[in-house]
């Protein structure tokens, strides 16, 4: 593998490692730590000025806010083990008292338990379809959903269309749909398939788990979940380099330049394309390693791990290009979009009303909200969520009007006092340069069955790890850790050959 002399003059530093990891989130840092423990040398390149990726804890106007991911559920064993290994403590989300549901009539109703206070016939419909979904999910391997005998069929029908085939009860459909739509994939329910929805549920163990807030949003880490990547990075010391966006990856051997002697311009272009195709094929089986060029450092390594969301791969120039399969696949993956709203008050006033802080409504701008008060904090914090089309629409208006509309929605759950927080902040990951959406990426209609089996496959010396490609723990830190371990294991197996 060769780099030109002109390119060498631009390099500020050149280092050599066994493995270069691109992305200092939970996946990349887990992989790097596992590889170092096994005796390989590593370096992690991070584009941001911090580690953590979509985990980010910061102080805003004097309030500690978990701007990104934050919850730990009982099924997330990889994350639970990592939290324990790092010596971190957890605490339970506040859930004492009544929850609130706002139905199509706009009336707030208090309730306890898992079922919303809907009409008996609607409740029966929700129960029946939930049982049907649990049975379907039980047949799904979250790591290989495309292997289900009906995967192709289920990937051709949208989540919304399938639900509406089951019942004409619109309230039941809305309440069933939002668990994987607004709440998790953060896309309109007509834009992704039944199979994608079943994968989301299978990643949590069942559809019932996914709709149970007391399960999926069980605990938080004292001091914030970003401590997981921060402590993992500490173990790597100077081998984590921040402010190093990767611009180019040169992989595989250099092939000879195409013959330019032909008289026909068209012929030259065809020859060039043939040569490029041959170079890509040669690179896939080459043992020449990679050269990774970031803004301030160049790394030569035997292997690379792309530990970032697939939607960010186009930010990197690959030489030769990635194979056509990856080019096609990545065009069928996109991020969702959600605004995470943080409202901090001088006290958790809703508790005085006997409310847990848990609130839901498929008819509200903020479709769900929770008590998000920090451990040991006398102030009270509510966190609410505005997803997909609603989130798009809110960014067409001014920040002042957006805040007013969101707080108005929260007041429908908690009363007029919700309109007057002492600290207010909106997590807008859609404008974050190195993320471009939230919570995670998912396939469009038909994409999961068509490309899912290839999503995690290495490309020559380049391995892939991200929560967006997880099975168990999909979209969560748990999945990122699992994928980091998988990528490290793949490289260790190859390194031993």
pLDDT single digits (tens) 174-199? 999 999 999 999 999 999 999 999 99
pLDDT, residue 12, reads 61
44-103 per-position pLDDT tens digit:
999 999 999 999 999 999 999 999 999 999 999 999 999 999 999 999 999 999 999 999
Q: How far apart are CA 359 and CA 217, in angstroms?
A: 13
Has residue 312 got a pLDDT over 60?
yes
Provide CB contacts within 8 A for 464, sequence distance 6+. 305, 306, 310, 455, 456, 457, 458, 483, 487
Residue (of 497, 394, 436) closest to 47 by Cα position:
436
pLDDT, residue 255, reads 38
121-169 per-position pLDDT tens digit:
999 999 999 999 999 999 999 999 999 999 999 999 999 999 999 999 9
pLDDT, residue 493, reads 96
**Residue 204, SS3 per DSSP:** coil
pLDDT, residue 274, reads 74
Provide CB contacts within 8 A for 7, sequence distance 6+. 293
Residues facing 427 on adjacent strands: 340
pTM for this predicted structure: 0.93
Q: How far apart are CA 27 and CA 12, in angstroms?
A: 27
Q: How far apart are CA 297 and CA 242, in angstroms?
A: 11
Residues facing 189 on adjacent strands: none
Has residue 332 got a pLDDT over 90?
yes
What mean pLDDT comes out for the span 226-249?
A: 98
Give the dihedral sign, CA 24/25/27/29: positive
Instruction: Tell me what the pLDDT averaged over the chain comes to.
Output: 93
Residues facing 384 on adjacent strands: 341, 369
Has residue 266 got a pLDDT over 70?
no
Q: Between residues 194 and 6, which one has the greater pLDDT?
A: 194
Q: E strands of 232-311, at which residues?
A: 240-241, 246-251, 290-294, 298-306
Check residue 446 and give left, alpha or beta (phi > 0: left; psi -120 to 50: alpha).
left
Phi/psi for 36 (5° steps) reads: -65, -40
At residue 254 the predicted structure's pLDDT band, cuts being 50, 70 and 90, is: low
pLDDT, residue 284, reads 73
What is the rounded radius of gyration, in angstroms, for the C-alpha atoms of the chain?
A: 24
Largest Cα span, the chain? 85
Q: How far apart are CA 53 and CA 436, in angstroms?
A: 11
Q: How far apart are CA 372 and CA 437, in angstroms?
A: 22
Has residue 36 got a pLDDT over 90?
yes
Q: How far apart are CA 52 and CA 487, in angstroms?
A: 18
pLDDT, residue 313, reads 96
Q: How many Cα atoms occupy the beta-carbon half-sphere of 200 within 13 Å? A: 28
Peptide bond into 439 cis (omega under 30): yes
Q: What is the DSSP string of 103-153?
A: -TT--EEEE-SSS-S--HHHHHHHHHHHHHHHHHHHT--TT-GGGSTTHHH
pLDDT, residue 302, reads 97
**Residue 18, SS3 per DSSP:** strand
Using CA atoms in the order 270, 455, 392, 212, what is the torsion angle rounded to 10 degrees? Answer: 170
374-412 per-position pLDDT tens digit:
999 999 999 999 999 999 999 999 999 999 999 999 999
Q: Measured in whole angstroms, how far is the alpha carbon of residue 463 from the centre of its chain?
A: 18
Residues facing 269 on adjacent strands: none
Q: How far apart are CA 239 and CA 20, in angstroms?
A: 10
What mean pLDDT comes out for the span 22-32?
A: 98
What mean pLDDT comes out for the span 98-111?
A: 98
């Amino acid at each position: 593998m060769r780099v030109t002399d002109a390119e060498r003059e631009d390099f500020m530093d050149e280092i050599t490692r066994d493995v270069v990891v691109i992305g200092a989130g939970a996946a990349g840092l887990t992989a790097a730590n596992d590889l170092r423990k096994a005796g390989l040398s590593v370096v992690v390149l991070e584009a941001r000025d911090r580690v953590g990726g979509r985990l980010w804890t910061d102080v805003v106007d004097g309030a500690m806010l978990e701007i990104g991911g934050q919850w730990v559920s009982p099924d997330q064993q990889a994350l639970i083990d990592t939290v324990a290994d790092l010596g971190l403590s957890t605490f339970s989300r506040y859930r004492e008292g009544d929850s609130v549901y706002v139905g199509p009539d706009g009336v707030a109703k208090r309730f306890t338990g898992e079922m919303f206070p809907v009409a008996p016939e609607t409740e029966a419909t929700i129960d029946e379809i939930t049982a049907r979904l649990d049975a379907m999910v039980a047949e799904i391997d979250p790591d290989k959903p495309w292997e289900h005998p009906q995967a192709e069929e289920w990937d051709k029908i949208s989540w919304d269309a399938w639900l509406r085939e089951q019942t004409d009860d619109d309230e039941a459909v809305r309440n069933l749909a939002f668990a994987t739509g607004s709440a998790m994939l953060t896309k309109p329910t007509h834009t992704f398939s039944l199979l994608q929805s079943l994968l989301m549920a299978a990643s949590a163990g069942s559809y019932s788990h996914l709709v149970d807030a007391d399960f999926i949003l069980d605990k938080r880490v004292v001091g914030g979940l970003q401590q997981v990547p921060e402590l993992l990075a500490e173990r790597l010391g100077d081998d984590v380099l921040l402010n190093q966006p990767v611009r180019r990856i040169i992989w595989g051997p250099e092939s000879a330049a195409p013959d330019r002697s032909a008289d026909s311009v068209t012929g030259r272009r065809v020859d060039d394309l043939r040569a490029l195709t041959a170079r890509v094929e040669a690179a896939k089986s080459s043992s020449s390693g990679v050269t990774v060029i970031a803004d301030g450092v160049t790394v030569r390594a035997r292997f690379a791990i792309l530990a970032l969301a697939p939607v960010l791969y186009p930010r990197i120039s690959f030489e030769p290009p990635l194979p056509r399969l990856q080019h096609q696949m990545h065009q069928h993956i996109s991020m969702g979009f959600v605004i995470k709203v943080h409202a901090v008050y001088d006290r958790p006033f809703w508790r005085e009303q006997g409310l847990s802080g848990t609130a839901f409504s498929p008819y509200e701008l903020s479709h769900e909200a929770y008590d998000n008060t920090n451990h040991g904090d006398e102030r009270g914090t509510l966190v609410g969520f505005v997803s997909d089309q609603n989130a798009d629409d809110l960014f067409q208006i001014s920040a002042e009007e957006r805040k007013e509309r969101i707080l108005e929605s929260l007041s429908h759950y908690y009363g007029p006092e919700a309109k007057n927080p002492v600290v207010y902040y909106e997590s807008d990951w859609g404008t974050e340069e190195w993320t471009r959406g939230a919570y995670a990426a998912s396939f469009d209609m038909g994409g999961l069955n068509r490309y899912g089996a290839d999503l995690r496959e290495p490309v020559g010396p380049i391995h892939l790890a991200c929560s967006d490609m997880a099975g168990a723990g999909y979209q969560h830190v748990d999945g990122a850790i699992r994928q980091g371990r998988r990528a490290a294991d793949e490289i260790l197996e190859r390194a031993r050959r």
